Amino acid sequence: MDRMSLEQIDRELSEWLLEERPTRAPDRLVEDVFARTTRTRQVRRWTVPRRRTQVWQFASGFAGAAAIALVVVTMGIVLSQMGTGPGSTATPIPTSSPGTSRSPSPSPSPSQSPSPAATTLGTLSARSLALGTDAAPIDVTEAFGSIWVANIHANEVRRYDPATMAEQARIDVPSAAWFAVADGALWVTHQNGRALSRIDPASNTVVANVGDVPPCAAPVVAFDSLWQSACDARVILRIDPATNEVLDRIGSEGNLFLTFAGGRLIALGPDGPASLDPETGKFTTLPNPDAVGAEILASDGDTVWIPTPTSLLQIDPASGRTIATLDYPGVRAIAFANGSAWLTTAGGVVEIDLATNEARRTIPVPGNPLVPAVYDNALWVTDFDRSLLWRVDL
């Protein structure tokens, strides 16, 4: 008998699986086995090809042989568990679902929670934590002595110990995206759905869902209320965080997103920034052509920071005039802490001295850093594309 190459074995086996899978293997067995033998973080769930011309392709002969062997062995085990012939009473061995328990347990099982990987970024010690295939984290924040991460594709919020990065809890939240803290609770938006969830940090459970419109961007805490933009619905919700009630629905008049700076609620309008009066619900335009077309804004408490495709603007919230223009195009998100602004850019995270607007340093966080947060001399950064959470010692 002629010896077959690995590629020929791959092809023959894949065609046999296509013919036999409907009658011999439980649903998604082959896909699950393949996923478990593939270790790259970017991998997506493999699906059985619809046409015979599509065959398995592996990076190396060893990886391909290992995956094939595991498929065959696993199928043999499952088939033996299913039993043969009439009257079989064999019971398949149950498998536990991946990830930690979603109950409000103070700490997950160590065997279910991945360990952070130590590395060095420039001269700084750092750790990265893999959140699972396509978890897609967006926001990260510190609250109630923990670090919280919103994983939009995993439909969950995770809670971590800030010193060890040990997972403390997972909470189910549909398309979780952006955080705010109000009335002793953590609030998180449903980016692809409707409403905000109120999370009780004592029990790690959702105790209320508030609102009936799709939220956009982070909620803002101001004037004893929680303010939430709903871009598609063209309204801004004013929520009482103590009673979980919607107090007002304000027409947005084309003004998107919100921040709180200099005692004012500021939005992005068609002609630049706009100030929202909390009593009348009316907007006052603060014309600034440099800010037209911007998509996010942030506040250091006194001034408004607006990233544009060509630069980063610092704006007076009373007049809308530009105070400073910084040469940082395409900033993704901004956090403020320790007298600095922290900018996520394509080259990493840039620390800006708020007193001088000069760059103090650039931390070369690899990949696509998205949202930064600084707490207790550590920089935390989410990477949406690679489903990572970074902790960098400052």
Which superfamily does 117-252+332-393 belong to?
TolB, C-terminal domain (2.120.10.30)
pLDDT tens per residue across span 23-76: 333 333 333 322 332 222 322 222 222 222 232 222 333 333 333 333 333 333
Residue 112 is predicted with a pLDDT of 65
Delimit the domains of the chain by residue range. Answer: 6-82, 117-252+332-393
Angstrom distance (rounded) from CA 394 to CA 386: 23
pLDDT tens per residue across span 237-249: 999 999 999 999 9
Least confident of 53-67, 159-173, 279-293, 296-310: 53-67
Closest by alpha carbon to 112, among 62, 64, 164, 166?
166
Residues 6 or more apart from 237 whose CB is under 8 A from it? 211, 213, 227, 228, 230, 246, 248, 249, 250
pLDDT tens per residue across span 139-193: 999 999 999 999 999 999 999 999 999 999 999 999 999 999 999 999 999 999 9
